[in-house]
Amino acid sequence: EAGVAQSPRYKIIEKRQSVAFWCNPISGHATLYWYQQILGQGPKLLIQFQNNGVVDDSQLPKDRFSAERLKGVDSTLKIQPAKLEDSAVYLCASSLGTGGRNSPLHFGNGTRLTVT
């Protein structure tokens, strides 16, 4: 089975610029997650979709971050405008069901964002 695909792998932008990340989850996976991982920290959930509906976006900085999951498959995460503290690895993950027992997360390789 093909894994979670993310692009780009790396992105360098200046502060106040905008950037977008793309994720294609494993086929058939209903739930999609975007995590932010700052160096030396664990992944932090930004937003969680079930099919194309948002389940949790409580930790998404909505003044600058937005995400969508059209048709319940691919997803994009956008930052506009970027700040220095947004430098991190952005991980996309998906799970077959709604999570919980027997439904672990499967991660993509992430996008490393550097804001200068």
Partner 1 sequence: DQQVKQNSPSLSVQEGRISILNCDYTNSMFDYFLWYKKYPAEGPTFLISISSIKDKNEDGRFTVFLNKSAKHLSLHIVPSQPGDSAVYFCAASEGFLGSGTYKYIFGTGTRLKVLA
- Residues near partner 1 (CB under 8 A) are 4, 6, 31, 33, 35, 40-45, 48, 50, 55-56, 91, 93, 98-101, 103-110
What is the nearest approach in angstroms of partner 1 to the Cβ of residue 92? 8
What is the nearest approach in angstroms of partner 1 to the Cβ of residue 54? 11
d(CA 23, CA 40): 23
| Measured distance between the N- and C-terminal CA atoms of the chain, rounded to whole angstroms | 37
For partner 1, which is the closer residue by CB, 28 or 42? 42
For partner 1, which is the closer residue by CB, 50 or 66? 50
DSSP 3-state assignment of 96?
A: coil
What is the nearest approach in angstroms of partner 1 to the Cβ of residue 89? 9
- In order, the DSSP letters of 73-91 are S-EEEEESS--GGG-EEEE
Q: Quick one: DSSP state of residue 1?
A: -
Spatial CB neighbours of 63, under 8 Å, sequence gap ≥ 6: none
For partner 1, which is the closer residue by CB, 7 or 80? 7
d(CA 70, CA 52): 6
For partner 1, which is the closer residue by CB, 48 or 75? 48
What is the nearest approach in angstroms of partner 1 to the Cβ of residue 104? 4
